[in-house]
Amino acid sequence: MKLLTGMTLALVSTFQVLAQEPVHLWPAAAPGALGSDDKDIPTLTPFLATPELATGAAVVICPGGGYGGLAGHEGKDYALWLNTQGIAGFVLKYRLGSAGYRHPVMLGDAARAVRLVRARAAEWKIDPKRVGIMGSSAGGHLASTLLTHFDAGNATASDVVERQSSRPDVGILCYAVISMGPNTHGGSRENLLGKDPSPELVKLLSNELQVTPQTPPCFLWHTWEDNAVKVENTLDFALALRRAGVRFDLHIYEKGNHGLGLGSGNYDPGKWLDWTRDCTSWLKVEGFGRK
């Protein structure tokens, strides 16, 4: 996979100061919490674009890690890249199978994150109608789950956050686990669903089977060489989007294995991978990026 050339490291470093302290998704204990340690407290860390670049769009970022960990280069680094496009990045620390959690806890955390960004849109200078979700590997599975299992919110809820829709306006899926079926990533499936999930649960969380015309537009990328998560995950999801009449931008690159992130130099724009260029163009089309 070819690397980009262009911008300078100094450009990205200027955005790091705009990171804020993590925000708890719930003011008290999160629903289904198994304790009160850090692993039991889902959070959202805002990385806001500088005012002169900000477009008002935002993306919630779900790092990968097999539902057993959270990969930093698929979280903060993505947020800093989004900032260069004028887009606010919100890095989600969701609860994990390695800490004893199972579905639907992770989906609940992702849905709450999107609702929270919308509920605090005025504070963060965000357009609540331009809030997307992004995920890599197992984080891509979580993102694709919300893209296919959202709701409109509860208009009568006493909690103003719960009144908000959890439907993302766009999705960005990077070498994502999509299926819980034969093409799944075994570790992600076990961490999410346990050792012996029912066929019904496997089908429900095989998100290529859950696409509808209401699924948001998506940017999808994978590599042919990926030997950890099969490229069929992305191809099958794209086919499902096509059948449902949902817009998408699909990129299958020949070279590059799993977990690439932005590339070998995550903070060096001169080494960002081609997908960042392609996604930047798509974000402009969708009204998220700078024109």
Which CATH number characterizes residue 189's domain?
A: 3.40.50.1820
pTM over 0.85: yes
What is the per-residue pLDDT for 185?
97
Distance from C-alpha of 207 to C-alpha of 220, rounded to nearest angstrom: 14
What is the per-residue pLDDT for 272?
86
Distance from C-alpha of 213 to C-alpha of 225, rounded to nearest angstrom: 31
In a domain, 40, yes or no: yes
In a domain, 4, yes or no: no
What is the per-residue pLDDT for 265?
57
In a domain, 21, yes or no: yes
What is the per-residue pLDDT for 13?
45
Say which residues have a Cβ less than 8 Å from residue 149's Cβ, sequence separation at least 6: 107, 207, 210
187-201 pLDDT per residue, tens: 999 999 999 999 999
9-40 pLDDT per residue, tens: 334 444 444 568 999 999 999 999 999 999 99
Kind of pairing, strands 218-223 and 131-136? unpaired
The number of folded domains in the chain is 1
What is the per-residue pLDDT for 8?
35
In a domain, 44, yes or no: yes
What is the per-residue pLDDT for 20?
85
In a domain, 71, yes or no: yes
Distance from C-alpha of 119 to C-alpha of 68, rounded to nearest angstrom: 29
Distance from C-alpha of 61 to C-alpha of 78, rounded to nearest angstrom: 8
CA distances in angstroms from 259 to 100, 176, 205, listed in the order given: 24, 10, 22
In a domain, 2, yes or no: no
In a domain, 263, yes or no: yes
Distance from C-alpha of 219 to C-alpha of 135, rounded to nearest angstrom: 11
In a domain, 149, yes or no: yes
Structural domain that includes position 263: 9-285
What is the per-residue pLDDT for 6?
38
What does R_g of the chain's alpha carbons equal in angstroms?
A: 18
Q: Which residue stretches of the chain have pLDDT < 70?
A: 1-19, 264-267
